[in-house]
Amino acid sequence: MPKRQVLPPPLAAAPFTFSTARASGISVGRLRRKDVINVGRGLYRPAGWDFDLEGAARALSAASPGAWISHVTAARLRCQLLPPWLGDSTELHLSKPRSLPPVRRKGVVGHTVLALKEETECVDGIHLSTRSRTWLDMARVLPLPDLVSMGDELVRAPRAAFEGRTEPHATLTELRILVRRHPNLQGIVRAREALDLMRVGADSAPETMLRLAIGDAGLPEPELQLPLRAGDARSPSADLGYRHRRLAIQYDGEHHLGDAQIHSDRRRDKAFESADWTVLVFDKDDYADGFRSAVQRIRRALRNGWLDPAQASGFA
């Protein structure tokens, strides 16, 4: 009895292309066996394979010359900020230029789009849209607040000691240029609206959502990453706040639950309180509430503080 041809480890562990299989010495007949599943033109996977987004995207990219991984798939591969309902999406999105035939692969969401060369890139062997282009593509899917949050993450100043970079992923100016290039793209109106609401300084989606809730309530826009002592790089800072009202607003997410972080947060808040500031601290329960109660507390704190007559209408 002839020996059964075993799939080599790389092919047995993840999706693969026809050309990769042939280069590994796998015959056409071997690809017809039950332990291999043809998932589309020139694309296969092991029958017992557990879904892995990166592995699927890598094989799809390799099997689709001239196309690129896009939309929510690209966002997930880069760990870009997405709302919870998309955070574990297993959708595979593939974009192609108009010069190529439309995408017709089972289990793949295809897009025929106009994209400039600098709007896509190859990262670790996967051809995909840039972070900025992914944000623009998601404008047709995401609600406005989530699109603003995703954009705020792009433009925020990184913490070099923790992230290994000193420049933001994009600037507001660069994103405006990108948006102007694609006036007919689906979602472009929402992208323009998001740009008007994006700010540099939000370190998380809840911070962005709190800022937007404050604005929706008609209150003055707070400063972001507000230091207690202006011009002092070592000064404790508030996530949001109003210096002329001496009001500091903090959002403490789940990473603030550790003992060391709790101690640090207490020292931070005490520094503001010792300087005669009011400190308001919000958490995931306020986030789940849409910050409705938080906004009311902020409104009361602002009313109780010194009121600039020029901005009095914001507190009516």
For 131-141, the pLDDT digits (tens) are 999 999 999 99
User: Cα–Cα distance between 304 and 300 in angstroms, integer?
Assistant: 6
Over residues 280-299, mean pLDDT: 96
Residue with tokens 């020029």: 310
Helices (H) and strands (E) in the chain, counts: 13, 12
| Backbone torsions φ then ψ of 195, nearest 5 degrees | -60, -40
- Is 103 in contact with 67 (CB distance < 8 Å)? yes
What's the pLDDT at 311? 45
- Residue 293 has a CB neighbour count (10 Å cut-off) of 12
pLDDT band at 101 (very low <50, low <70, confident <90, very high): confident
Stretch among 22-31, 94-103, 109-118, 295-304 having the lowest mean pLDDT: 22-31
Express each pLDDT in 199-214 by its tens digit.
999 999 999 999 999 9
**CATH fold of 205-316:** Endonuclease; Chain A (3.40.960)
Model pLDDT for residues 75-86, shown as the tens digit of each residue: 999 999 999 999
pLDDT at 316 over 50: no
- What pLDDT shows up at residue 306? 52
Q: Indicate yes or no: pTM above 0.75.
A: yes
Q: What whole-number distance in Å separates Cα of residue 225 and Cα of residue 222?
A: 10
Q: How far is CA 179 from the centre of its chain?
A: 18
Q: Where in the chain is the domain with CATH 3.40.960.10?
A: 205-316
* Cα–Cα distance measured from residue 130 to residue 178, given in angstroms and rounded to the nearest whole number: 11
Section 111-139 average pLDDT: 96
DSSP, collapsed to helix, strand or coil, labels residue 301 as: helix
Tens digits of residue pLDDT in 22-53: 787 888 878 888 778 776 667 777 776 666 89
